[in-house]
Chains A and B, each alone.
Chain A
């Protein structure tokens, strides 16, 4: 089992709709979770961090965390073509304090 798992996609969503990206992790002791966006040929950039169970909203982005289910998700409302990118889930593993990335989900917003 991989430490951080994501569906590789591609996930195709119409413009203006909600895009839902999911991530599961294996280390139950993990406490910190992040979503990064990576455009083709560019480096990852942080868009959201979440540390507590529940929802955290920032503009059109909402991160959701469920530690009991070891599940973290990212919702993008009113999806725009500029949201087309690969979204990487990252987790600080509780056992080792190192940041591990999933393989990323490629999101495509179609006009």
Chain B
């Protein structure tokens, strides 16, 4: 069974540029999460989807971040414009009965 797939693995951009991350969850997992992880910290929840519905986006900085999960499968997380403080690893996870399965993450560096 294929795991959670994320791309790109690494992205380096200049501040004020846009960036997008893509996630394909494990087949059959209806719940999808985007987390942000800074060095030395635990993952911080950005948004949670149940199928195509965003059921918790209270931690998503909506002025510059957006996310979508069309058709309840793949998801995209976008940042526009990026700021220096957005440098982090962006983790996508899908869930079955509360147990999270993470992708390899997308490491963003904003210069």
Q: Which A residues touch B40, using CB under 8 A?
A: 8, 103-104
Q: 6 smallest A-B Cβ distances: which pairs?
A: A101-B42, A43-B102, A103-B42, A101-B43, A32-B98, A104-B42
B-side binding surface: helix, strand, loop or mixed?
strand
* CB of B103 within 8 Å of the partner chain: yes
Minimum CB distance partner of A34 in chain B: B99
* CB of B105 within 8 Å of the partner chain: yes
Residues facing B in A26-63 (CB within 8 A) are 32, 34, 36, 42-46, 49
Pick the contact of B41: A32, A42, A103 (CB < 8 A): A103
What distance in Å separates the Cβ of A58 from its nearest Cβ neighbour in chain B? 13
Q: How many residues of B contact A (CB 8 A)?
A: 20
* CB of B33 within 8 Å of the partner chain: yes
Residues facing A in B29-79 (CB within 8 A) are 33, 35, 40-45, 48, 56
Q: How many residues of A contact B (CB 8 A)?
A: 23
Establish whether residues B43 and A49, one from each chain, have CB atoms under 8 Å apart when the complex forms: no
* CB of A13 within 8 Å of the partner chain: no
* CB of A99 within 8 Å of the partner chain: yes
Cα distance, A90 to B43, chains bound together (Å): 10
| A-B contacts at CB below 8 angstroms, number | 49
* CB of A96 within 8 Å of the partner chain: yes
What distance in Å separates the Cβ of B3 from its nearest Cβ neighbour in chain A? 10
Establish whether residues A98 and B48, one from each chain, have CB atoms under 8 Å apart when the complex forms: yes
A44-B43, A103-B42 given; A98·B56 CB < 8 A: yes
Q: Which B residues touch A46, using CB under 8 A?
A: 99-101
Establish whether residues B102 and A92, one from each chain, have CB atoms under 8 Å apart when the complex forms: no
A34-B100, A45-B102, A46-B100 given; A99·B41 CB < 8 A: no
Q: Which B residues touch A49, using CB under 8 A?
A: 98-99
Establish whether residues B102 and A44, one from each chain, have CB atoms under 8 Å apart when the complex forms: yes
